[in-house]
Structure 1
């Protein structure tokens, strides 16, 4: 067995620990009171730091909000909905359940929507995070589609990266609607979109024709 990695020592270890502490504390404030309530003073107070110490690592409130969001997403584990599926289970039903599991922290979802909008400004601290996040989502969804194609569930002609970008837009758009009006089943709506984008109906139609041909 390999020895456990040693924690960082010296100034670097102390700095990284403080950054993680501030990000975790900012996340806690968002969960308890929402992102609009987050202030440098409150984060500093809870982390037992001075405001100057917080500002040294996070030069603005917007930087703190991005740190809180990244900490939240790291805790959730961004698997983008492609968890192992039990035999005999519709993979998109499992995907829908995963979508709905992610609704347990509405304050984080509101922060995500707010930072996604702010990230359209190249000078905003969320811009770099958003690019990295979107690239990861596209890779994850494209991999999910390839797995569905290999299993025969999705149509082989669907282009993975295009599918991934469209699914990301669908999910994030529906998520914003759900935050305004949570009366509908978000997971079911996203799953329906996956079936359309993956051309599931075309696969089922082809299977039906082949089955009929074998009986003739």
Structure 2
């Protein structure tokens, strides 16, 4: 019973953190705000998450896991491009998680930061998942064999993340339409044999 109660208390704090990140910018979030949102004391928060990094990692892990649980079946049913489209739609419906993940990019790129390895591992895992799904798409005939899954994953994720970042600073942008248009053109390119680029700026 104690274990169940403690798990419930941890979840209560995590849900409080999610509420805070929905309302406030990343750099404005504090233990005090989380405690208020979770309806517990700051001491109860820090008893379960001694450092801010501990709380942030647990929050990202839970929040992203909840989202992925709903979207992953799309990958198996319709492929990688549709899976990422599902994430785009989820971010449109509730943009707070993407704002949080985007805010942690600077942390992930800081080698000495305690959270860097966790965030980088999560990113590598995401790339691998998309690459594996693209390989499955090739086997299923959804994508052409001329597309190398690892490279395709780089391109698909770059497209998704780039458009997502644009939409954050261009709020009137139709993100889903932009994704559909860009993915359609990219997938058309996958049907052609790869040709190494030659950059001749003097050519007309």
Q: How high is the TM-score relative to the length of structure 1?
A: 0.70
Deviation digits for residues 112-168 of structure 1, max 9, x if unmatched?
A: 110122111233343233223223312321233123322333220322122213322
Structure 1 residue 100: deviation in Å?
2.3
Matching of residue 110 in structure 1 with residue 99 in structure 2 = yes
Structure 1 residue 94: deviation in Å?
7.6
Distance 1:156 1:120 in 2: 33
Deviation digits for residues 5-56 of structure 1, max 9, x if unmatched?
A: xxxx44x444433322211110012223443442211222343433233223
Asked if 2 retains the 8 angstrom alpha-carbon contact of 1:119 and 1:125, the reply is: no
- Match in the other structure for 1:151: 140
Runs of 5+ unmatched residues, structure 2? 194-204
- Match in the other structure for 1:41: 32
Distance 1:50 1:137 in 2: 35
Matching of residue 203 in structure 1 with residue 191 in structure 2 = yes
- 1:51 aligns with one of 26, 42, 49: 42
- Match in the other structure for 2:22: 31
Please identify runs of 4+ aligned residues in structure 1 that moved more than 6 A.
Answer: none
Question: Using a 3 Å threshold, how does the CA distance of structure 1 residues 183 and 58 change in structure 2: closer, same or farther?
Answer: same
| Deviates most, 157-166 or 75-84 | 75-84
How many equivalent residue pairs? 191
Runs of 5+ unmatched residues, structure 1? 1-8, 206-216
Show the 5 A alignment for 1:96-175. Answer: 96=85, 98-175=87-164
Distance 2:190 2:121 in 1: 33
Cα root mean square deviation, aligned: 3.2
Matching of residue 67 in structure 1 with residue 58 in structure 2 = yes
Distance 2:115 2:186 in 1: 29
- Match in the other structure for 2:77: 84
Distance 1:158 1:61 in 2: 42
Distance 2:107 2:89 in 1: 25
| Deviates most, 56-65 or 135-144 | 56-65
Structure 1 residue 179: deviation in Å?
0.4
Question: Using a 3 Å threshold, how does the CA distance of structure 1 residues 150 and 193 change in structure 2: closer, same or farther?
Answer: farther
Deviation digits for residues 42-86 of structure 1, max 9, x if unmatched?
A: 22234343323322332333443333333321221264662524x
Q: Which has the higher contact order (CA 8 A, sep 6+)?
A: 1
